[in-house]
A and B are shown apart, each in its own frame.
Chain A
Amino acid sequence: MIDVSGLNYHLGAARILQDVSLRLDPGGITALIGPNGAGKSSLLHCMAGLNAPTAGRVRIDGLDPFAASGEERARKVALLQQSPVVVSRLQVRELVAFGRWPHHRGRPGPEDAAQVEAALEAFSLQELATRPLDTLSGGQRQRAFIAMTYAQDTPWMLLDEPLNALDPRHARDLMARLHRLSRGTGRSIVIVIHDINAAAGWADRIVAMKDGRVLAEGESATLLTPDTLADVFDTPFEVLSHKGRAVVVAR
């Protein structure tokens, strides 16, 4: 379980997160939604133990990520950055292999190699394994970075806007893949997402944020109401139903 309580995070005078308390049970996909500047990415970084909070506490399955060693933390939670650096000449397999760093610290063994191959397979990257990252499309590159996060083999995967730069087909493909992984491997996935329909379609839980606070949280079916969405985004929404799924339309 990720347990966040009384979390405040300030950057200089700016209050990025204010008194955030949240409990995420393991398993499934949790989507963090909210307008730009709501504090979604900052919360994700605090949960990953990378942004030290001004006040409050974070526990990941009982572990204090700010007191634990870097490797200990990185074996518990993996984080995909919003805009990771693309190292030229770095091949896809080499990038994915970096996911094993917290486990081997520079001395990879056979198990690490097996995990890397499993991650390549899980994200259909075998054919691209020897391609340099800077020769890939945005979508392929994004998959490679998520595969690296997957190879980290952590109970929690935190993905900051994984659908960035993906067209609808690739976005759907990625969400379906993450959904399968969360079901098949029992990994808990938390994603920051702007596409509310993707959140409605694939997430088990939604946390809605605004102005550094959690405004609402709950199951997708119950949380996505016109009133809640209007409160979160300050714009009117219509929520339709299509084949049992909520379809959100901004009016």
Chain B
Amino acid sequence: MADRCVPWLVLALVVLSVGFLAWHLRAPYGFILELRGTKLAALICVGAATGAATILFQTVAMNRLLTPGIVGFDALFVLLQTLLVVSLGGVGVAQLPGALRFVVEALVLMAAATALFGVLLRRDASDVTRMILTGVVLGVLLRGLASVVQRMMDPSEFAVVQQAMFASFGRVDVGQLVAAALVLLAALGWAMRMAPALDVAGLGRGTARGLGLNHDRVVMISLMLVAAMISVSTALVGPITFLGLLAASLARHLTDTHRHTVLIPAAALIGALILVAGQFVFERLLGSQSALAVVVELFGGLLFLWLVLRKGKR
């Protein structure tokens, strides 16, 4: 049953994508199709990266309630945007070359993640929990810093930052999208190659090492892949904290398996499906442009609460 799930998800995504591109299509076809195609590709890239990264993160953290966002990626991104607007002004930020901004943001996020994972795990690779807790504390600290700076900002400039606090798919540049897609494809390919080792890692460090797996190496590579996927997708469209939790939970529920050869593509496809379906409903059916990220956060947050409460009852 688990294996059959993935082709159905692919089919659903293809159908939805065709619908997204062709719904109420009017002239000039080429121009509209290019706009819609870029947005569709961004939705698929971000959804797939977030879903797959969350599965990897949950496996190495041995916790199905976590998302990579919990270690402060989103907070760092918001702080970066805040500092950019404070130092260059709203107009200055708008004049920055998109490609440069994307590359710098992705590199800063990746460097921060590498520092967090690398420095903390180099001393004791078994201590993923400490790394996550440090990330959570850093996230709170960065959020606090951003909040302090935002309080001192001009309201019009704060509005620029506020726009960046939620993901938006309306401002994606094709060049950035291609670069992001290449990074994401490479990371996904590597994750799929590691899938059998991730199954073993899911048994816990002790058992996995007893079976001869270099568990610490698998954890480190997985976290680097998570860092790459989340950094690039956040730099591309902005933060979506709970999308990964939604995608990973639905993937586990639908596939009913522990096998990462199924879980990773399923979560990637479900992440893409949620975003494409959500954007289709809001943009095409309801005529709204920016509500998707907020709604994803709302449903993801509710799912998180439900999962925590359900676990508590058990």
Residues of A bordering B, CB below 8 Å:
48, 50, 69-75, 78-81, 84-85, 87, 89-90, 94, 98-99, 101-102, 105-107, 152
**Inside 8 A of B256's CB, which chain A residues have their CB?**
89
A76, B54: Cα distance in complex, Å: 35
| Besides the known contacts A75-B212, A89-B257, 12 further A-B residue pairs in the complex with CB atoms under 8 A apart | A48-B210, A50-B210, A70-B209, A73-B212, A74-B210, A74-B211, A79-B210, A81-B204, A85-B207, A98-B199, A102-B211, A107-B196
- State how many angstroms separate the Cβ of A7 from the closest Cβ of chain B: 19
Give the 10 A-B CB pairs with smallest separation, nearest first. Answer: A74-B212, A106-B196, A85-B204, A70-B212, A102-B212, A79-B210, A71-B212, A81-B206, A101-B211, A90-B258
**Inside 8 A of A71's CB, which chain B residues have their CB?**
212
- Minimal Cβ-Cβ distance residue in B for A70: B212
Q: What are 7 A-B pairs at a CB distance below 8 A? A: A70-B212, A84-B203, A87-B258, A98-B203, A101-B211, A106-B197, A152-B211
Given contacts A84-B206, A106-B197, contact A101 B258 (CB under 8 A): no
- The reply to whether B206 and A50 contact each other, CB–CB distance below 8 Å, is yes
Chain B's interface size range is 20 to 34
Interface residues of B in 203-249 (CB under 8 A from A): 203-204, 206-207, 209-214
- The reply to whether A85 and B62 contact each other, CB–CB distance below 8 Å, is yes
A89, B207: Cα distance in complex, Å: 17
Q: Does B202 contact A (CB under 8 A)?
A: yes
**Inside 8 A of B204's CB, which chain A residues have their CB?**
81, 84-85
A81, B206: Cα distance in complex, Å: 7
Residues of B bordering A, CB below 8 Å:
62, 195-197, 199-200, 202-204, 206-207, 209-214, 252, 256-258
**Inside 8 A of B199's CB, which chain A residues have their CB?**
98
**Inside 8 A of A102's CB, which chain B residues have their CB?**
211-212
- State how many angstroms separate the Cβ of B80 from the closest Cβ of chain A: 37
- The reply to whether B258 and A89 contact each other, CB–CB distance below 8 Å, is yes
- The reply to whether B207 and A81 contact each other, CB–CB distance below 8 Å, is yes
- The reply to whether A87 and B202 contact each other, CB–CB distance below 8 Å, is yes
Partner of A70, one of B196, B203, B214, B257: B214
Name, among B197, B199, B202, the residue most crowded by chain A CB atoms within 10 Å (CB to CB): B199
**Inside 8 A of B211's CB, which chain A residues have their CB?**
74, 98-99, 101-102, 152
A75, B204: Cα distance in complex, Å: 19
**Inside 8 A of A98's CB, which chain B residues have their CB?**
199-200, 203, 207, 211
A101, B207: Cα distance in complex, Å: 11
- The reply to whether B200 and A101 contact each other, CB–CB distance below 8 Å, is yes
- State how many angstroms separate the Cβ of B297 from the closest Cβ of chain A: 27
**Inside 8 A of A48's CB, which chain B residues have their CB?**
210
- State how many angstroms separate the Cβ of B111 from the closest Cβ of chain A: 31
Given contacts A85-B62, A87-B203, A101-B200, contact A50 B209 (CB under 8 A): yes
A73, B214: Cα distance in complex, Å: 12
- Minimal Cβ-Cβ distance residue in B for A48: B210
A107, B210: Cα distance in complex, Å: 18
- The reply to whether B213 and A101 contact each other, CB–CB distance below 8 Å, is yes
- State how many angstroms separate the Cβ of A135 from the closest Cβ of chain B: 13
**Inside 8 A of B62's CB, which chain A residues have their CB?**
85
- The reply to whether A70 and B202 contact each other, CB–CB distance below 8 Å, is no
A99, B203: Cα distance in complex, Å: 11
- Minimal Cβ-Cβ distance residue in A for B257: A89
**Inside 8 A of B212's CB, which chain A residues have their CB?**
69-75, 101-102
A50, B205: Cα distance in complex, Å: 10
**Inside 8 A of A80's CB, which chain B residues have their CB?**
210
A9, B211: Cα distance in complex, Å: 22
- State how many angstroms separate the Cβ of A244 from the closest Cβ of chain B: 36
A107, B203: Cα distance in complex, Å: 18
- Minimal Cβ-Cβ distance residue in B for A76: B212
Name, among B195, B202, B212, B252, the residue most crowded by chain A CB atoms within 10 Å (CB to CB): B212
- Minimal Cβ-Cβ distance residue in A for B64: A88
A75, B211: Cα distance in complex, Å: 8
- Minimal Cβ-Cβ distance residue in B for A71: B212
- State how many angstroms separate the Cβ of B106 from the closest Cβ of chain A: 31
- The reply to whether B203 and A85 contact each other, CB–CB distance below 8 Å, is yes
A79, B205: Cα distance in complex, Å: 13
A98, B258: Cα distance in complex, Å: 12
- State how many angstroms separate the Cβ of A187 from the closest Cβ of chain B: 16
